[in-house]
Amino acid sequence: MNTNILITSAGQRVVLVKDFQETLNRFFPGAKTYTTDMNPRLAPAAYISDGCFEVLRVTDSQYIPQLLQLCKDNGIGMVVPTIDTELVVLAENKKLFEENGIAVSVSNLDFIKICRDKRNTGEFFESHRIRVPKLIDKNNPTFPLFAKPYDGSLSTNLHYIKKAEDLTKEILNDPKLLFMEYIDKEIYKEYTVDMYYGRDHKVKCIVPRERIKIRAGEINKGLTEKEPLTQYLYDRLETIDGCVGCICIQVFLNRETGDVVGIEINPRFGGGYPQTYAAGANYPELLIREYFLDEKIEYFDGWKNHQLMLRYDDAVYV
């Protein structure tokens, strides 16, 4: 059995790579955690991993054949994607990799499509009894309001519109923007919730992290917090058809009223996952136990509550 792991589009995910290396070598000493990147020379995680392979852009027709051959040549038993743009193509080709003895930690295509289009994500949340921001008619708006692209990521093209003068023609005519109720961050706290789903599509772990400070769309200071979101989400999302592995859900919580507002779902390891790992919720271990050791995973909530994470910049010198 091949027990090496490949983390794709590794980029700056140095700590995630280290988490996988540390965990994998507890189970399989000597096994390798490899990475891919379009430009390994400029990818910090490339220097931390056990080897980095230069790959084509994910939209290239030869990307999948190239990735599959890399896996065959290097004893890869599992592929772990990390960016939104590769999820659809990997979900579409998941069976091809499985036929070659390679697990791909990506949910089924139908669920990926729900997550990639925020219009579908809103319908999903509502069908599971989770409120979403109310939509606003851009031609008859009420203020303040918020606008964001239905297929956006990395916190780009976001607009907080306080008054009519801020609603420019450029914003109004952008076909990708959704216009919605503004959730006041003075009243609501923002959370990212790392959730792990087993091969049976049932949740095995839920770790909410308050996003105390955000930088470039990624958590910079965070605090793990069990209640009230852990039980709230377990009651509503115990099972998700087609969902496997790590996903991260973003929600807002009004602690005084208990109102929870669902924002988006990223069906992959998020940039802040290392805090969840440090708190004791080891999702790389769950992947290894499920896909390499064929174990059945039970629900786990024994991670550290109220753990504070304070990130800082570091550098790799080559």
Max Cα distance, the chain (Å): 62
CA gap 111, 187 in Å, rounded: 31
What is the sign of the dihedral through the CA atoms of 57, 60, 66 and 71? positive
pLDDT of 153 over the 80 cut: no
Predicted confidence at residue 51, as pLDDT, reads: 98
What stretch of H or E contains 54? strand 52-54
Phi, psi of 153 (to 5 degrees): -155, 170
Select 4-106's CATH number: 3.90.950.10, 1.10.3720.10, 3.40.50.20, 1.10.10.10.
3.40.50.20
The pair of structure tokens assigned to 167 is: 């609603």
Is 160 strand, coil or helix?
Answer: strand
Q: Which fold has domain 112-130+185-310?
A: D-amino Acid Aminotransferase; Chain A, domain 1 (3.30.470)
CA gap 278, 82 in Å, rounded: 19
The pair of structure tokens assigned to 116 is: 């990639």
Q: What is the mean pLDDT of the chain?
A: 95
Predicted confidence at residue 165, as pLDDT, reads: 86
pLDDT-wise least confident of 111-115, 147-151, 258-262, 272-276: 147-151
Global confidence as pTM: 0.94
Contact 77, 291 (CB under 8 A): yes
Contact 179, 136 (CB under 8 A): yes
202-212: average pLDDT? 97
CA gap 116, 123 in Å, rounded: 13
Residue range(s) in the chain whose domain bears CATH number 3.40.50.20: 4-106
Place of tokens 């996952």: 273
Predicted confidence at residue 243, as pLDDT, reads: 98
Residue range(s) in the chain whose domain bears CATH number 3.30.470.20: 112-130+185-310
The pair of structure tokens assigned to 217 is: 């769309």
Range list of H helices, the chain = 14-27, 44-48, 63-73, 87-92, 94-99, 109-116, 118-127, 169-172, 229-237, 273-278, 283-287
pLDDT of 105 over the 70 cut: yes
Q: In this prediction, what percent of the chain has a pLDDT beyond 70?
A: 99
Contact 303, 278 (CB under 8 A): no
Is 188 strand, coil or helix?
Answer: coil
Q: In this prediction, what percent of the chain has a pLDDT beyond 90?
A: 87
Query: Quick one: DSSP state of residue 84?
Result: G
Predicted confidence at residue 83, as pLDDT, reads: 94
> How far apart, in Å, are the Cα atoms of 228 and each of 21, 187, 252, 299?
33, 16, 12, 17
- Tens of pLDDT, residue by residue over 19-49, are 999 999 999 999 999 999 999 999 999 999 9
Query: Quick one: DSSP state of residue 166?
Result: G
Predicted confidence at residue 216, as pLDDT, reads: 79
- Find the length of the chain: 318
